[in-house]
Structure 1
Amino acid sequence: MEKVALEHVRNIGIMAHIDAGKTTTTERILYYTGRVHRMGEVHDGAATMDWMDQEKERGITITSAATTCFWNGHRINIIDTPGHVDFTVEVERSLRVLDGAIAVFCAVGGVEPQSETVWRQADRYRVPRIAFVNKMDRTGADFYNVLNMMKERLGANPAPIVLPIGAGDLYTGLVDLVNMRAILYVDEYGRHFEYSDIPNDMQEEAEKWRRQLLEEIASYDEHLMDKYLAGVTITGEEFKLAIRKACIDGTLVPTLCGAAFKNKGVQRLLDAVVDYLPSPSEVGAVLGYDVVSRKPVEREPTDDAPFSALAFKIMTDPYVGRLTFFRVYSGQVKTGDFILNANTGKRERVGRL
């Protein structure tokens, strides 16, 4: 696998209530990053991340599946978690090893009970999040209602970084509040888009929301606040850096929208993963315990530190055998190395990686 600097790595999960379009969103991400060359659909049992027969039959994700893709020079390790309430424990295991997450909401249904459950699980592990309001092409889609539901039911602080242009059958694009431009889809299925000026009938609304966003992030960035109070123009790059800082601190949730089934908003979502979610080096040291002394030990996320990892999933493959998914927190490991299993106290040899 291509070696990428640690600051260009994103370990993320995709979490949502059932039927929010989480697996479809994941499939579009894999397609646009070149990981797959055919878009798998949930309804025909061809979703890449739904690997169990039961998942293909029911059209839901039961276990957490993991994969890797690349976007703009960054490696994105993705875990697609279950959305059904019966598999909450599987979500809990996955959230422990994430550096960031995408929370997917339905633009029609908004925040559902299982959304609240997984959100509070992410709160427990202090996972920075961005939100994606999906299904903007559906009748009854309401981006602004979902924002209000996030505030009221999740206690979240959603910060829209895009606004939808239209909704339902009239959903035709986005207003990018960071760069103050419109993104218009030029075909029905959103594969192609072009940048344009913000429509006249949305100019005032866009300026209002950008001003609110600026006031919000300026309160977390002293330098930005000084520029804002002095009336100095703030660049898109300065916006991004301030939003990133506030997102990683957990003080706000950058929020986007789109229609994954029609490929709309997915590329912008990938940009947001790279721009706003943290790398392992930004998350910092992880706390564990020495197997012998039981004393607390910190491990820094560097190649030079002793190896430490957490196994979060076991999967049996009919051709390969038992596979162990583990998150490396420090150091390096290669095929043939011996590592200590903290549960059993025994050394185990690493097989194929």
Structure 2
Amino acid sequence: MRDNLRPHLTDSLTAVRNLGILAHVDAGKTTVTERILYATGTTHKRGEVHDGTTVTDYDPQERDRGITIFAAAVSCAWDGHRVNLIDTPGHVDFADEVERSLRVLDGAIAVFDAVAGVEPQSESVWRQADRHGVPRIAFVNKLDRAGADLDTAVESIRQRLHPAPLVVQLPIGAEDAFTGVVDLVRMRALLWTDGHDTVEEGPVPDALRDEARRRRRQLEETVAELHPAALEEFCAEATLTAQTLAGALRDLTRTGDGVVVLCGSAYRNLGIEPLLDAVVAYLPSPLDVPPVRGSADGTEQERAADPEVPFAALVFKVNATATGRLTYVRVYSGTIRKGDTVLDTGARRTERVGRILRVQADRHAELDRAVAGDIVAVVGPKSARAGATLCAPAAPLLLEPPTVADPVVSVAVEARRSTDTERLVAALARLAEEDPSLVVRTDSETGQTVLSGMGELHLEVAVEKIRRAQGPDVNVGRPRVAHRETVVRGVSGLVYRHVKQDGGAGQFAHVVLDVEPLEAEAGSEGFVFRSTVVGGRVPQEYVRAVAAGCRDALVEGPIGGHPVTGLRVTLSDGSTHVKDSSEMAFRTAGRLGLRQALRACATILLEPVVDVTVTVPEDAVGGVLGDLAARRGRISGSATRSGTAVVEATVPLAELFGYATRLRSRTQGRGVFTTRPAGYAPAPAAVAGATATR
């Protein structure tokens, strides 16, 4: 019976596309998503961001602010294919939402503004997709805007993102006169009429025929350079058939050697149908991506995208709703049914699946089961958090969770009424459960509850979410950035002996530590430990204990108690006692020894810095440059285009608190800015002194 079902199951998997919409804020991601839902018949009215009628931006804060804050999953059908779509945020403060989404996607549509081209956050999300190996196609949006230019946008893709752009369309008309595209693969014209609800196919207009031939030839040459089979046909026939060209475009997209570029205007509903055709034709199905890899019993295993193998899924989002806790999962292998018991591998506890839901943003449709390749929400698991693995209890597997960035901004929060303190603690716990990039802790010195996140807006949204959920009234302190400390001059041969004798078995550990700055290229973790002890003077299990103790010591540095990064510690010598040495003793020696070494090192304070892109009218540039300089900004470049100036600078994050209001007042509301994390940089002495005295 199973053998008879397998061809049907395989066919169904090839007809699935799991993709996300990625872009800079305001590039039109949500509008593209809404038009896809409309074109596929999933909705019968076009949702508009400015009207607050979108399906995916359903949260009240999203509609009030006009931006996407939370990744929203929707599902639709096109040309016999099931398309599971995740609309991701574009603001840098919510980059972790994008990271968790990319972890479970097989492909993506990268949306670019036809006027602005590649913007800072576009570049950031593109690099995130690179890290996850997610194939992409590009959609150059807003071609109906004044100043829109497809070639300029494509050139910015080539220069800033470095893939080979494979432009498969030529616009018909420009700006307000943009009415359609020439499909360069099939050499046909696609025109939108009847209020842009229908597309008409026809011959290439006479005025564009020569240009279309030139661009088709250029596309063939680029593809032939990158694809061996296409090169063979091109050399033999001096051209490529539409079938060969489409097959080569599919292969180049899935290997990442090229990116197919389409164009249109989502707001005017121009270009959505060809975009959906490209999703089906070029982006991979769950069967086209490598099997998921995980660990089980200390060994690495693979699970194929097969409904008949043991179940395994990754939790990528948790949402507490009024009707229950929704756990969003990507099913990588096997089948899950209502009533099944699953294992949360990391927590080592079993959970029962009460319901399975096909998600349409804030609306849901009940399912009896979900199979490999599905993205669904389940109701029942009580403790699974984002990044958890759910699997069949008889076949445990632990999948690699998405990475979580360290928070960079903190605020102190407290309930206005002391009687609401417990309610606030519970509300903060729910926030941290839903969003792993939010961290809640208690300040050991002040006793305050501190909420940390990825930026001012991130924290504003979190606090507002508490208020809107009938939570307690909250007082919020001034934002503070998360500093780090690092070593600029190390020490060698620091000797530390840990000796404790208070009756019974004692503790003895002797270590000799060398501490030195860690070069940036030596590793990205910020801390490297190694041992050069010879002759077995310190057994290997004690070496590991010393390394663990050193990591414990990095939590608080000598300047202001901030985490320490950017150093290499070498265990160069040591000794043991035949009776009193233990792993605990050597861990304690590592922790206390490194703390003593850090006090002897020359250390400096690091502060988070961000790359800022400010777009203002030309007549406001002088004031903006002066303001950035006053905020300790380093100008890295500026350019002028169509009466608008774009200024790029690197600025300490702490100096940008309140900058949005200041910029609006300086530019009569016409200036905008975006930021992108740029790591850490040495803080001036005044800042170091201020943090040390807190």
Same fold, judged at TM 0.5 (above): yes
The two structures, once aligned, show a CA RMSD in angstroms of 1.5
Which deviates more from structure 2 when the two are superposed, residues 43-52 or residues 225-234? 225-234
Alpha-carbon distance between aligned partners in 2 of 1:49 and 1:193, rounded to the nearest angstrom: 25
Alpha-carbon distance between aligned partners in 2 of 1:68 and 1:194, rounded to the nearest angstrom: 26
Do residues 62 (structure 1) and 69 (structure 2) align?
Answer: yes
Contact 2:220-2:239 at 8 Å conserved across structures: no
1:296 Cα deviation after fit: 1.1
Number of the residue aligned with 1:333: 336
1:198 Cα deviation after fit: 1.5
Match of 1:316 among 299, 316, 320: 320
Alpha-carbon distance between aligned partners in 1 of 2:45 and 2:324, rounded to the nearest angstrom: 27
Give the secondary structure class of the aligned counterpart of 1:340. strand
1:136 Cα deviation after fit: 0.5
Alpha-carbon distance between aligned partners in 2 of 1:185 and 1:51, rounded to the nearest angstrom: 29
Which deviates more from structure 2 when the two are superposed, residues 293-302 or residues 226-235? 226-235
User: What residue identity is the alignment partner of 2:96?
Assistant: V
What whole-Å deviation, never above 9, does each CA across 1:301-333 have from its counterpart, x for those lacking one? 111221111000011222x31101100111111
1:158 Cα deviation after fit: 1.3
User: What residue identity is the alignment partner of 1:288?
Assistant: G
Alpha-carbon distance between aligned partners in 2 of 1:225 and 1:158, rounded to the nearest angstrom: 17
1:3 Cα deviation after fit: 11
Which deviates more from structure 2 when the two are superposed, residues 3-12 or residues 68-77? 3-12
Do residues 7 (structure 1) and 7 (structure 2) align?
Answer: no
- Which structure 2 residues correspond to residues 30-45 of structure 1 after superposition, within 5 A? 30-45=37-52
Number of the residue aligned with 2:299: 295
Number of the residue aligned with 2:223: 217
Number of the residue aligned with 2:146: 139
Higher relative contact order (CA closer than 8 Å, sequence separation 6+):
1
1:232 Cα deviation after fit: 6.2
Do residues 180 (structure 1) and 187 (structure 2) align?
Answer: yes
Number of the residue aligned with 1:101: 108
Contact 1:99-1:127 at 8 Å conserved across structures: yes
Number of the residue aligned with 1:351: 354
1:347 Cα deviation after fit: 1.0
Contact 1:4-1:74 at 8 Å conserved across structures: no
Alpha-carbon distance between aligned partners in 2 of 1:349 and 1:219, rounded to the nearest angstrom: 53
User: What residue identity is the alignment partner of 2:316?
Assistant: F
User: Which 5+ residue runs of structure 2 have no aligned equivalent?
Assistant: 1-8, 357-694
Which deviates more from structure 2 when the two are superposed, residues 177-186 or residues 17-26? 177-186
Alpha-carbon distance between aligned partners in 1 of 2:168 and 2:250, rounded to the nearest angstrom: 12
User: What residue identity is the alignment partner of 2:217?
Assistant: R
Contact 2:27-2:112 at 8 Å conserved across structures: yes
CA gap of 1:232–1:212, structure 2 versus 1, over 3 A, is closer
Match of 2:97 among 90, 96, 100: 90
Alpha-carbon distance between aligned partners in 2 of 1:107 and 1:209, rounded to the nearest angstrom: 19
- Which structure 2 residues correspond to residues 121-160 of structure 1 after superposition, within 5 A? 121-160=128-167
Contact 1:104-1:131 at 8 Å conserved across structures: yes
- Which structure 2 residues correspond to residues 241-260 of structure 1 after superposition, within 5 A? 241-260=247-266
Alpha-carbon distance between aligned partners in 1 of 2:20 and 2:299, rounded to the nearest angstrom: 31
1:4 Cα deviation after fit: 6.8
User: What residue identity is the alignment partner of 2:130?
Assistant: D
Alpha-carbon distance between aligned partners in 2 of 1:213 and 1:283, rounded to the nearest angstrom: 26
Q: TM-score, normalised by structure 2?
A: 0.49
Alpha-carbon distance between aligned partners in 1 of 2:287 and 2:150, rounded to the nearest angstrom: 33
Identity %: 52
1:128 Cα deviation after fit: 0.2
Number of the residue aligned with 1:234: 240
Number of the residue aligned with 2:209: 203
Alpha-carbon distance between aligned partners in 2 of 1:274 and 1:79, rounded to the nearest angstrom: 16
Alpha-carbon distance between aligned partners in 1 of 2:241 and 2:220, rounded to the nearest angstrom: 11
What whole-Å deviation, never above 9, does each CA across 1:122-180 have from its counterpart, x for those lacking one? 00001000000000111010110010001111112211111111221121210100001
What whole-Å deviation, never above 9, does each CA across 1:250-283 have from its counterpart, x for those lacking one? 1110010000011000011000000000000000
Match of 1:112 among 110, 119, 130: 119
Which deviates more from structure 2 when the two are superposed, residues 228-237 or residues 195-204? 228-237
Match of 2:82 among 75, 80, 98: 75
1:220 Cα deviation after fit: 4.1
Which deviates more from structure 2 when the two are superposed, residues 230-239 or residues 268-277? 230-239
Alpha-carbon distance between aligned partners in 1 of 2:243 and 2:113, rounded to the nearest angstrom: 30
Alpha-carbon distance between aligned partners in 2 of 1:79 and 1:36, rounded to the nearest angstrom: 16
Which deviates more from structure 2 when the two are superposed, residues 29-38 or residues 219-228? 219-228
1:224 Cα deviation after fit: 2.6
Give the secondary structure class of the aligned counterpart of 1:305. coil
Number of the residue aligned with 1:307: 311
The structure that is strand-richer by fraction is: 2
Contact 2:21-2:85 at 8 Å conserved across structures: yes
Alpha-carbon distance between aligned partners in 2 of 1:129 and 1:316, rounded to the nearest angstrom: 31
User: Which 5+ residue runs of structure 1 have no aligned equivalent?
Assistant: none
User: What residue identity is the alignment partner of 1:128?
Assistant: P
Contact 2:34-2:46 at 8 Å conserved across structures: yes
Alpha-carbon distance between aligned partners in 1 of 2:11 and 2:175, rounded to the nearest angstrom: 40
Which deviates more from structure 2 when the two are superposed, residues 54-63 or residues 225-234? 225-234
Contact 1:14-1:102 at 8 Å conserved across structures: yes
Which deviates more from structure 2 when the two are superposed, residues 194-203 or residues 147-156? 194-203
User: What residue identity is the alignment partner of 2:36?
Assistant: I
What whole-Å deviation, never above 9, does each CA across 1:85-128 have from its counterpart, x for those lacking one? 11111101100100000000111111110001100000000100
Contact 1:162-1:175 at 8 Å conserved across structures: yes
What whole-Å deviation, never above 9, does each CA across 1:208-234 have from its counterpart, x for those lacking one? 221121122223443332221122653
Number of the residue aligned with 1:193: 199
Contact 1:108-1:141 at 8 Å conserved across structures: yes
Contact 2:163-2:258 at 8 Å conserved across structures: yes
Contact 1:4-1:75 at 8 Å conserved across structures: no
CA gap of 1:109–1:225, structure 2 versus 1, over 3 A, is same
Contact 1:166-1:172 at 8 Å conserved across structures: yes
Contact 1:161-1:254 at 8 Å conserved across structures: yes
